Amino acid sequence: MMSSTSFNRGNYVELLHTLAAKDERLARHLETSTMFSGFLNIIQNDLVEAIGDVVRYNIKKISAAPFVAAEVDESTDVTNKAQIYVITWLKARWLVM
């Protein structure tokens, strides 16, 4: 298991900390929680499934749009792991997934 200060915390934990950077409540929770930190495998699976639900919802919205543009980019980090991002333009609004 990687420590919380490791440079290679894995995609799930990195995503969690990225979300915490934009959500003050999540950041505070990760810093102070003694009961639930979100790092247990079963909790990770539940949260990944919830994120999948949001992505599927956005795919439905994209499918219904008359015009869509998408940009997908991949870069390999220093640990030789692929980092991927998707940006979609939909009806004059950016959706970043």
Q: What is the token pair recorded at 46?
A: 């539940």
Who has greater pLDDT, 24 or 39?
24
Least confident piece of the model among 23-27, 31-35, 49-53: 31-35
pLDDT band, very low/low/confident/very high, at 2 (cuts 50, 70, 90): very low
Residue 97 pLDDT greater than 70, yes or no = no
Measure Cα distances from 71 to 20, 55, 68, 85, 89 in Å.
24, 15, 10, 8, 9
pLDDT the model gives residue 49: 87
